[in-house]
Structure 1
Amino acid sequence: MSHQFIIRNEERGHDMIKSDGSRSSYIAGHPDGFVTRASSFNFHEYQGGRPGFGPVRVFGDEVFHGTGCGYNMHPHHNFVICAFVFAGELTHINTAGGGTVDRLAAGDYYVFSAGSGGKHSELSVTPEDMHAIYLWLLPKQLYLPPSYHRAHFDFRTRRNAIVQLVGDGDGALPVDQDLRVSRLIADSGKSFAYPLRSVSHGVYVFVREGSVRCDTTVLNARDSTGIWNASTVDFEILEDDTDVIVVETLMIDDTIQQKWEHDHVHH
């Protein structure tokens, strides 16, 4: 029997982080820059929701407001960070390899594995707000050499298909984890089936824009659901230009997550 939880937009953790006081060393753009973040899972100050999904620890829907806003240079260890840009431009500076300065526009995305230790900075240097979704996950193996990969999703030529962006698919960016991230931009009336790798896998489905019936649950913009112990997840698109992010991963044995599921999910 499949299991499911639903997170409506208003149930996410909503934060506004200003570049002032002690935060100004981390949040760039002082004094008028600020970041708005909506967290699907517990992250920093927000601890009122679900503690991750499989190896996924962060799913942050973020907007950088103001020229120069973003995150100043900061370190990570043994985390894989993915960013998917939807509006504006993200300047990403990181220390992987010989160092990289990258400028990502709408449709661009990256996978940065901090591994044994890496630093990066993410800034919106143009006047336009930058909108991205950030995904943090635990790697399968600790202390790997840091790495950086990036690619582009062309929504004009890849509509009405579930396209794998991260994972082991053709053209997908590699990641050291049993995880795949896919994107679906589709028109009203279209239907799609997403087959899971095994009953030990689950999917986290986030609707960025539009409306979709996911199995029997209607999800509107910024709503999401997690489903596991299922063989297939069905999508029926209810609005034109619906934009869906699908994260499939092995459901690792995590006692914290299992306790949350026991307390919150109807079995």
Structure 2
Amino acid sequence: MKTVLHKSETRGHVNHGWLDTYHTFSFASYYNPERIHFGALRVLNDDWIKSGNGFGMHPHDNMEIITIPLSGVLEHKDSMKNRAVIKSGEIQVMSAGTGVFHSEFSQKDEGDVSLLQIWVIPNRRNVTPRYDQLEISLLAKENELYQILSPNEDDEGVWIHQNAWFHMGDLSEGWQGTYTLKGEKNGVYVFVIEGAIEVNGESLETRDGLGVWETESIEIKSSSASKVLLMEVPMQV
């Protein structure tokens, strides 16, 4: 088994005033040659966007882009003529494929937005761009790791063009459980949204991340009431 630990305070950080953002992996002006990606997990950004502000129309291609709002209301528009509002308890996925433009703005009068934006390198290039959105709060089960993303269109949660599975957990203090990886050549990146947990005895606190690979499973124990995100991805891309 191999591991890599990323404490929250070691992340890249830029405060633009309207955007306060932390980068687990190299992104934009933050570059760390030792933190380019974790397998197919290319970007894990922890963003705070002030009310009425956001990202204007900009392009993407050949990337699976997942957005998980943690608080507030985010408005999305794209060149596929989608216009949607996403909020805490929901997940959005956009397969950029051959190319797409989109914008994201914190709705005015709805307060600031806190969100996780995650990019996963796809296993198919130049696919037709697509958009999906789902209320994952309907899948939530207390003290269970519930699936919110997979490679399968008919499975629970949203789906992407990659052999990846995402799970979330709303865990009470003292909860213990095992996560078994689904892909033989996959690793899992554990990100603590809030609270404190132990993964195979490694202590993690709010916004810490731990990547684990070359193992069949990991053991998780919640040291306090915690919310966690597990991202299982192929290690070879």
TM-score scaled by length of structure 1: 0.84
Residue aligned with 1:54, SS:
coil
Residue aligned with 2:22, SS:
strand
**CA drift at 1:95:** 2.2
**CA drift at 1:198:** 4.0
Residue of structure 2 in register with 1:176 after alignment:
161
**CA drift at 1:117:** 1.0
RMSD: 1.5
Give deviations 1:140-160, integer Å, cap 9, x for gaps. 111111100111122895211
Q: Does the 8 Å CA contact 2:191/2:209 hold for their aligned counterparts?
A: yes
**CA drift at 1:172:** 1.6
Residue of structure 1 in register with 2:60 after alignment:
76
5+ residue gaps, structure 1: 19-33, 254-267
Q: 1:246 aligns with which of 221, 230, 234?
A: 230
5+ residue gaps, structure 2: none
1:108 aligns with 2:90: yes
In 2, the alpha carbon distance for the partners of 1:42 and 1:168 equals: 25
Q: Which runs of 4+ in 1 moved over 3 A?
A: none
1:153 aligns with 2:152: no
Residue aligned with 1:208, SS:
strand
Q: 1:64 aligns with which of 46, 49, 69?
A: 49
Residue of structure 2 in register with 1:264 after alignment:
none
In 2, the alpha carbon distance for the partners of 1:145 and 1:200 equals: 27
Residue of structure 1 in register with 2:8 after alignment:
9
Residue aligned with 1:154, SS:
helix
Q: Does the 8 Å CA contact 2:47/2:115 hold for their aligned counterparts?
A: yes
Q: Does the 8 Å CA contact 1:155/1:185 hold for their aligned counterparts?
A: no
In 2, the alpha carbon distance for the partners of 1:245 and 1:83 equals: 13
Residue of structure 1 in register with 2:126 after alignment:
143
Residue of structure 2 in register with 1:233 after alignment:
218
Q: Cα distance 1:198–1:115, how it changes in 2: closer, same or farther (>3 A)?
A: closer
Residue 79 of structure 2 aligns with an amino acid whose one-letter code is T
Residue aligned with 1:81, SS:
strand
Q: 2:106 aligns with which of 118, 124, 145?
A: 124
Residue aligned with 2:182, SS:
coil
Matched residue count: 233
Give deviations 1:196-254, integer Å, cap 9, x for gaps. 124411000000100001111010001110000011111101112x010100011115x
In 1, the alpha carbon distance for the partners of 2:90 and 2:41 equals: 21
**CA drift at 1:194:** 0.4
Q: Does the 8 Å CA contact 2:139/2:147 hold for their aligned counterparts?
A: no
Q: Which moved more, 1:196-205 or 1:225-234?
A: 196-205
After TM superposition, the structure 1 = structure 2 runs for residues 250-261 of structure 1, keeping only pairs within 5 Å, are 250-252=234-236
Q: Which has the larger radius of gyration?
A: 1
In 1, the alpha carbon distance for the partners of 2:146 and 2:197 equals: 17
Structure having the higher helix fraction is 1
Residue aligned with 1:239, SS:
coil
Q: Percent of pairs identical after alignment?
A: 27
In 1, the alpha carbon distance for the partners of 2:45 and 2:72 equals: 17
